[in-house]
Amino acid sequence: MLNTLINYIKSFRNRTALQNKIRSIAGIKPVNIDLYKFALTHKSIGRHPSDFPGHNNERLEYLGDAILSAVIADYLFTFYPNYNEGFLTQMRSKLVSRENLNKIALKMGIDKLIMLNKHVIPAQKHIFGNALEAIIGAIYLDKGYRKTRKFIIKKIIRNQPDLDKIAYEERDFKSQIIQWGQKNKQEISFKSHEIIQKDKPQPAFVATIHIMDMLAGEGLGTTKKEAQQHAARQALKNLPS
């Protein structure tokens, strides 16, 4: 009887501590705390250290992945009304990439909460990002879609410091002009050279793009790639619609 009471007190304390941690990282008050236990349980430990043997976060990760993708797709569709499907798809891929989610999970402190066999970390680098997706699944089941959407926008999308930079890079004007040339059987060529700018210690690059040996665009940048992107962007504006 005494052992049962002690175990109950320990369990209660652990549940309260986990509730506080979830509230801290997610900004919500959990109702079904067991969902979050599963979300933070990696399959490497074999059995869940509670009364639910055999449970881990794989099913919740599957659910969270689908919801995360849908919310980000909806957000990008609204936020970038003048961009095509290819741009939106690439932006979404960047935001939901395992590498990006892993960085966000580490920043949120999920690595300090997850239960796992520490020997699996070198072999599986994205464990914490996967756990973040599982937490999204848990929030959805526990609090519903609106709360989950709010969490994703605040903690993942708006917590992305270089969102505008990613958007610019994903426009990939160079690829677009090359694809146009292939489709229309027009030869596309790029030329670039380094220049020295007055009053600036770092060199810059000028790139030009030629379509069938005719100058179609010119661009300046701190790298060859950036200069070529600017040149391709200018060339795309001059193409016949």
- Say whether 133 is catalytic: yes
pLDDT for res 4: 40
Describe the strand order of the beta sheet including 204-211 as a list of residue ranges: 188-195, 204-211, 214-221
Output the pLDDT for position 193. Answer: 87
Query: Mean per-residue pLDDT for 187-200?
Result: 82
Lowest pLDDT segment from 29-38, 99-108, 201-210? 201-210
Query: Angle 67-73-77 (CA atoms, 0-180°, nearest 5)?
Result: 150
Single out the catalytic residue among 51, 61, 65, 169: 65
pTM for the model stands at 0.64
Q: What is the predicted pLDDT for the residue at 73?
A: 95
Classify residue 174 as exposed, middle or buried by CB count within 10 Å of its CB (0-12, 13-18, 19+). Answer: buried
Using CA atoms, how far apart are residues 64 and 58, in angstroms rounded to an integer? 10
Q: What are 149's two structure tokens?
A: 């959407």
Q: Which domains does the chain have, with CATH numbers?
A: 2-169 (1.10.1520.10), 173-238 (3.30.160.20)
Annotated catalytic residue, options 85, 111, 133, 187: 133
**Is the pLDDT at 66 greater than 60, yes or no?**
yes
**Nearby residues of 162 by Cβ (< 8 Å), 6 or more positions away:** none
Q: Known catalytic residue: 65? A: yes
Q: pLDDT-derived band of residue 3, with 50, 70 and 90 as boundaries?
A: very low
Q: How many residues does the chain have?
A: 241
- In the predicted model, is pLDDT for residue 152 greater than 90? yes
